């Protein structure tokens, strides 16, 4: 099964999860600045909330790489949201991309809030989530 990891981060929180997934599934974690060079069965895509939405760079990545995305599996961090599923479902539908219903989401540090998150436990849980997603 071909797998890839892409993420968008502003302060490094989502990169921590991407690196944890990379360690668990054995493919490099790259930013959304790196297009997919071949079709993958599963794309793990990481992003966070900024002003109640995901960044335009994430939306553009899906649009520009849709032909190479088999199934999209989301992971992300935020200060107070539960999931990036809702805004990303719109993006997936717009581009005809299959989106896994279950995603991984945890707190990410934001100013004085949630210092140290994602922490080692978040990263472990995210890695376990990714391994299970490969089995589905
Ligand atoms: C400009 C800005 C806007 C944000 N807006 C939200 C928001 O609307 N909802 C939320 O839960 N977190 C919000 N956050 C917190 C980020 O989602 C959180 O810090 C996240 O972990 C950042 O991930 P990153 O370091 O990978 O960019 C915001 C952070 C910034 C810098």
Distance 54 CA to ligand 1 centre (A): 9
Per the structure, the complete domain to which residue 41 belongs is given by 3-135
| Ligand 1 neighbour 110 (Cβ under 6 A) | yes
pLDDT digits (tens, 9 = 90+) for 92-116: 999 999 999 999 999 999 999 999 9
- Classify the phi-psi angles of 93: left when phi > 0, otherwise alpha if psi is within -120 to 50, otherwise beta: alpha
- pLDDT digit string, tens, across residues 58-81: 999 999 999 999 999 999 999 999
| Res. 136 pLDDT band, cuts 50 70 90 | confident
Residue nearest to atom 1 of ligand 1 (CA): 50
How many structural domains comprise the chain?
Answer: 1
Are 42 and 17 in contact by the 8 Å Cβ rule? The answer is no
What is the average pLDDT value for the chain, to the nearest integer?
97
Question: What is the CATH classification number for the domain harbouring 81?
Answer: 3.40.50.360
Distance set, CA 26 to CA 8, 18, 87, 130 (Å): 19, 11, 28, 11
């Amino acid at each position: 099964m071909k797998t890839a990891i892409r993420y968008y981060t502003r302060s490094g929180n989502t990169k921590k999860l991407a690196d944890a997934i990379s360690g668990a599934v054995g493919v490099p974690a790259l930013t959304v600045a790196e297009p997919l060079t071949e079709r993958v069965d599963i794309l793990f895509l990481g992003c966070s909330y900024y002003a109640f939405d995901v960044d335009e760079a994430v939306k553009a990545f899906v649009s520009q790489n849709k032909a190479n995305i088999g199934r999209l599996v989301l992971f992300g961090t935020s200060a107070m949201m539960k999931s990036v599923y809702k805004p990303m479902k719109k993006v997936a539908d717009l581009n005809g991309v299959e989106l896994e219903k279950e995603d991984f989401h945890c707190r990410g540090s934001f100013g004085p809030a949630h210092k140290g998150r994602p922490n080692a436990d978040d990263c472990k849980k995210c890695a376990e989530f990714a391994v299970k997603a490969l089995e589905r």
